[in-house]
Amino acid sequence: MVEIVFTRPLFLWFLLSIPLMVITHFYLVRYTKLKAMKFANFEAIRRVSGEKVISKEMPKLVLRVFILLFFIFSAAGIELWYQGYSNDYNFVLAIDASGSMSLDDIKPSRFDAAKEAAAQFVDSLSSQAKMGVVSFAGIAYVDQRLSDNARQTKSTILGLKLKEAAGTSLGDAILTGTNLLLSEDQSRVLILLTDGQENVLEKSAIDTVIETAQDAHITIYTIGMGTEAGSLSILPKPVQDELARYNVSFTLDEVMLQNIAQKTSGQYYRATDKEELASAYTEIASHTKPTQLKKDLSYAFMVIGLLLIFLEWGLVNTRYRLIHFRE
């Protein structure tokens, strides 16, 4: 799928100047022609030259329209997005730092296992990808903006602490990660790891956040970690038994995580131990799947516009004068 996007669409209002230029052009051509007919003896010219007098205004007008179009599109920040294959991504790692991540069903704890796997993921990347780090609980925190310093990224990840803010806001984590990735031109990937479910934002707000990530051409991989038994262990025994009786899943919302990944051309992974967690990161690191790639055309359009100005200037002063003789 190929898509044209304008990062500064307000400049497209200048397209309204094109009809005005066309009207002005034909008015001036008519005015100049009347003026020329008043002072020129075309009959004498035809008798001497044996040629027909013709106007070459249309090619000049078309050329000027294209010049204006290229400059307006350049000012509007024209970008071409297309489907391509790439393993050269910029990543944001969004890691759940809520209280439930302290559970030890994955040794030494979910949080420590998540940090260790993320640090190994940084080591596994062969490209010079930039990486950012976001941790989240009830709100999201930017722990590191995009950087190509792998050592710094690992240090940031391993230094993460559990947050005191109650709740789990997947939507805030996605939105924060999206904002970090927007400044880069390379393919954008957000890896969202959680053992919980959205309990801060409404579903409609989550849908809006996902659409924002889609519009920014961000691929989201989701990882749901933890075992059912481990999640239930924080509840009183009578509550555990009641949930088990009705086969109710607690904490991890796999449906939402699958939905987030599917809508953003990503993939969902389930990790109930350190091996599955490491495998999920390994697979993400090795992906060369189709992804949305961007080509900024603004500078190219500006250069083309300048070249057309010189072309138009040359033609106006040579072949396409107002009066041209042809046999």
pLDDT at 22 over 80: yes
Domains of the chain: 3-77+297-326 (no CATH), 85-290 (3.40.50.410)
pLDDT at residue 41 in the model: 53
List 6's β-bridge partners, or say none: 78
| DSSP code string of 42-74 | HHHHHHHH--EEE--HHHHHHHHHHHHHHHHHH
CA-CA-CA-CA dihedral for 100, 240, 230, 155, to nearest 10? 0
pLDDT digits (tens, 9 = 90+) for 188-246: 899 999 988 888 888 888 999 999 999 888 999 999 998 765 555 555 556 555 545 54
pLDDT digits (tens, 9 = 90+) for 36-54: 555 455 555 455 444 444 4
pLDDT digits (tens, 9 = 90+) for 95-121: 999 888 888 888 899 999 999 999 999
pLDDT digits (tens, 9 = 90+) for 284-293: 887 745 556 6
End-to-end CA distance of the chain: 50
Strands 52-54 and 324-326 turn out to be antiparallel
pLDDT at residue 325 in the model: 42
Give the DSSP H or E segment for 107. none
